[in-house]
């Protein structure tokens, strides 16, 4: 095998917050799509959730508490070097062939590639296979209009997968696909349902949305995260109802500021995965205790990601609601 053929194939998995990157990757791991993949998960929050959902991976590393484009770039480079060094001491049969990098929803794939190309060692050992971008069918148009980063991710894609396509009308899907083709005219756009890919159905031709060239990021506050630790709160049947009502009220009041919510919470009905994108709360998913080999690790933490979030105000309102029950 030549040196070029032996290089570690990098697949960058990108997409804006809540697009469904982990759901897609979980299915690929289950289906055995990639041979012996090494997984890296970048989580902008200080408390990671996605790595728990990907615990079936043979090799898994987590970069959490920041974005690899800035705060964690040096740690990312160091991790890449470590993975490459490990491959040099292993046989071809033992070493990973694919490095799948699930990026934070606020990371730009082009920045990662620049960092690799600027490092002579990594440039010699890692080759980009493709950049896969997941686009949320429900929120894609809104994100393209309001989030310059979402545009950058789409423009960098070699493959685009539209998630949650079953949840929108054909007209909405046609408008989104037309816009994606306008932004990035690749012949590689498919759809996925719970991580299972399928060809994009034939859609009625329509015009893309008009993208204003005057939109800038100056008026956007930075995206930050806060973590709510629920260990001190016993989510009994009555308090679980109170927590659910509080969460619904929070999204109703601050839905435009909150981009993403995710967490694993122990309830009277077992461990539940909670997720929201903007104001839309997804149906909770039951997580078996044996899912990650633990009954308590990383549970009872909820991460909120968004702009202008007041941690003291939000956590205080939750405690008040539950204490009043």
User: Looking at the structure, do residues 184 and 315 belong to the same domain, yes or no?
Assistant: no
- Report the pLDDT value the prediction gives residue 301, as an integer from 0 to 100: 82
Q: What is the number of domains present in the chain?
A: 2
* Burial degree of 280 (CB within 10 A; 0-12, 13-18, 19+): middle
Mean pLDDT to the nearest integer, 210-234: 67
User: Looking at the structure, do residues 43 and 163 belong to the same domain, yes or no?
Assistant: yes
User: Looking at the structure, do residues 29 and 113 belong to the same domain, yes or no?
Assistant: yes
Residue 214 confidence (pLDDT) above 60: no
pLDDT band at 84 (very low <50, low <70, confident <90, very high): very high
* Cα–Cα distance measured from residue 160 to residue 88, given in angstroms and rounded to the nearest whole number: 33
Domain CATH for 27: 3.40.50.300
SS3 assignment, position 253: helix
Mean pLDDT to the nearest integer, 64-77: 88
Phi, psi of 15 (to 5 degrees): 150, 150
User: Looking at the structure, do residues 110 and 238 belong to the same domain, yes or no?
Assistant: no
User: Looking at the structure, do residues 101 and 243 belong to the same domain, yes or no?
Assistant: no
pLDDT digits (tens, 9 = 90+) for 92-132: 656 778 899 999 998 888 888 888 888 999 988 998 888 99
User: Looking at the structure, do residues 115 and 245 belong to the same domain, yes or no?
Assistant: no
User: Looking at the structure, do residues 46 and 195 belong to the same domain, yes or no?
Assistant: yes
The reply to whether 303 falls in a domain is yes
The reply to whether 213 falls in a domain is no
Number of CB atoms found within 10 A of residue 233's CB? 18
- Report the pLDDT value the prediction gives residue 49, as an integer from 0 to 100: 58
Q: Which of 199, 232, 259 is the last residue of a domain?
A: 199
The pTM for the full model equals 0.75
Question: How many Å from the N-terminal Cα to the C-terminal Cα in the chain?
Answer: 66
User: Looking at the structure, do residues 253 and 189 belong to the same domain, yes or no?
Assistant: no
- Report the pLDDT value the prediction gives residue 306, as an integer from 0 to 100: 82
User: Looking at the structure, do residues 30 and 179 belong to the same domain, yes or no?
Assistant: yes
pLDDT digits (tens, 9 = 90+) for 15-64: 998 899 988 998 888 888 887 789 999 988 765 555 555 555 668 898 98
3-state DSSP percent of the chain in helix, strand and coil, to 5: 35, 25, 40
User: Looking at the structure, do residues 194 and 250 belong to the same domain, yes or no?
Assistant: no
The reply to whether 216 falls in a domain is no
The reply to whether 297 falls in a domain is yes
Expressed as residue numbers, the domain containing 309 is 224-323
**What share of the chain in percent tops pLDDT 90?**
27
Give residue 28's Cα distance to chain centre.
Answer: 15
pLDDT digits (tens, 9 = 90+) for 257-310: 887 788 888 877 788 888 777 777 777 777 776 544 433 346 778 888 888 888
User: Looking at the structure, do residues 51 and 194 belong to the same domain, yes or no?
Assistant: yes
Domain CATH for 303: 3.30.1220.10
The reply to whether 217 falls in a domain is no
pLDDT digits (tens, 9 = 90+) for 136-190: 999 999 999 988 889 989 988 989 999 999 889 999 999 999 999 988 888 899 9
Q: Which of 147, 166, 199 is the last residue of a domain?
A: 199
The reply to whether 210 falls in a domain is no
- Report the pLDDT value the prediction gives residue 10, as an integer from 0 to 100: 92
The reply to whether 208 falls in a domain is no
The reply to whether 98 falls in a domain is yes
């Amino acid at each position: 095998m030549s040196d070029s053929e032996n290089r570690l194939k990098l697949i960058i998995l990108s997409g804006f917050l809540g697009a469904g990157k982990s759901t897609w990757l979980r299915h690929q791991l289950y289906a055995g799509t990639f041979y012996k993949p090494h997984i890296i998960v970048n989580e902008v929050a200080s408390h990671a959730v996605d790595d728990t959902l990907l615990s079936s991976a043979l090799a898994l590393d987590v970069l959490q508490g920041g974005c690899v484009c800035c705060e964690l770039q040096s740690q990312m480079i160091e991790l890449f070097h470590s993975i490459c060094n490990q491959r040099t001491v292993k046989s071809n049969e033992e070493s990973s062939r694919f490095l799948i990098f699930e990026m934070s929803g606020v990371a730009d794939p082009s920045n990662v590639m620049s960092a690799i190309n600027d490092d002579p060692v990594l440039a010699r050992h890692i080759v980009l296979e493709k950049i896969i971008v997941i686009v949320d069918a429900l929120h894609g148009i809104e994100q393209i209009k309001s989030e310059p980063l979402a545009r950058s991710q789409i423009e960098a894609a070699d493959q685009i997968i539209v998630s949650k396509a079953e949840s929108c009308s054909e007209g909405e899907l046609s408008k989104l696909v037309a816009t994606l083709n306008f932004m990035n005219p690749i012949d590689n756009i498919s759809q996925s349902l719970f991580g299972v890919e399928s060809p994009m159905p034939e859609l009625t031709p329509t015009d893309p949305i008009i993208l204003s060239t005057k939109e800038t990021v100056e008026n956007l506050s930075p995206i930050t995260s806060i973590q709510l630790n629920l260990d001190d709160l016993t989510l009994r049947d009555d308090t679980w109802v109170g927590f659910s009502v509080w969460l619904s009220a929070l999204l109703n009041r601050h839905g435009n500021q909150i981009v993403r919510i995710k967490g694993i919470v122990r309830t009277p009905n077992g461990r539940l995965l909670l997720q929201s994108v903007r104001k839309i709360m997804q149906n909770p998913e039951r997580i078996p205790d044996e899912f990650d080999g633990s009954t308590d690790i990383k549970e009872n933490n909820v991460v909120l990601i968004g702009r202008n979030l007041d941690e003291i105000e939000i956590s205080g309102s939750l405690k008040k609601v539950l204490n009043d029950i």
